[in-house]
Amino acid sequence: MNDVRLPVIADAQFARLFGTAPMVVSSAHGRVNLIGEHTDYNGGFVLPTLIPQATVAAVAPSSGRRVRVWSRELSADASLRAFHLGDEEAGQGWLDYVQGVTVALRAAGFEVGGFDLAVASDVPLGSGLSSSAALEVSVLRALRRLFDLDFDDVMLAKIGRAVETDFVGAPIGIMDQMVSSLASVGEALFIDTRTLATAPVALPAGTELVVINSGVAHHHAHGDYRTRRAECERAASMLGVVELRDVGVADLGRAQALPSPLDRRVRHVVTENQRVLDAVAAMRANDADALGALFSASHASQRDDYECSVAAIDQLVAIAQADPAILGARLTGGGFGGSIVALVRTGESPAAAARVAEGYTRASGHAPTVLVP
Ligand code: GLA
What spacing in Å lies between the alpha carbon of 163 and ligand 1's midpoint?
A: 14
Which residues have any ligand 1 atom within 6 Å of their CB? 33, 37-38, 40-41, 172-173, 175-176, 333-334
Q: Which band of pLDDT confidence, cut at 50, 70 and 90, is reported for residue 236? A: very high
Q: What is the pLDDT of residue 1?
A: 47
User: Hey, is 132 helix, strand or coil?
Assistant: helix
Q: Which class for 222: exposed (0-12), middle (13-18), buried (19 or more C-beta within 10 A)? A: exposed
**Predicted model pTM:** 0.97
Q: What is the pLDDT of residue 4?
A: 76
Ligand 1 atom closest to Cα of 173? 9
For residues 82 and 67, the answer to whether their CB atoms sit within 8 Å is yes
Ligand 1 atom closest to Cα of 36? 12
Quick check: is 224 catalytic? no
pLDDT at 370 over 60: yes
State which H helix or E strand residue 56 sits in.
strand 48-61
pLDDT at 26 over 50: yes
Q: What is the pLDDT of residue 261?
A: 98
Q: What is the pLDDT of residue 336?
A: 93
What are the chain's domains? 11-199 (3.30.230.10), 203-372 (3.30.70.890)
Distance in angstroms between the alpha carbons of the first and the last residue of the chain: 8
Counting residues of the chain whose pLDDT is more than 90, the rounded percentage is 95
Taking all residues of the chain, what is their mean pLDDT, rounded to a whole number?
96
d(C-alpha 135, C-alpha 54), whole Å: 9
d(C-alpha 202, C-alpha 209), whole Å: 12
**Would you state the torsion angle of the CA atoms of residues 107, 110, 114, 120, taken in this order, to the nearest 10 degrees?**
-80
Digit-coded pLDDT (tens) for 39-56: 999 999 999 999 999 999
Digit-coded pLDDT (tens) for 238-247: 999 999 999 9
What mean pLDDT is predicted for residues 141-162? Answer: 98
Residue of 138, 143, 227 lying closest to 177 (CA atoms) = 138
Digit-coded pLDDT (tens) for 84-122: 999 999 999 999 999 999 999 999 999 999 999 999 999
pLDDT at 328 over 80: yes
Ligand 1: which residue has its CA nearest to atom 5? 334
Digit-coded pLDDT (tens) for 274-327: 999 999 999 999 999 999 999 999 999 999 999 999 999 999 999 999 999 999
Digit-coded pLDDT (tens) for 174-232: 999 999 999 999 999 999 999 999 999 999 999 999 999 999 987 654 689 999 999 99
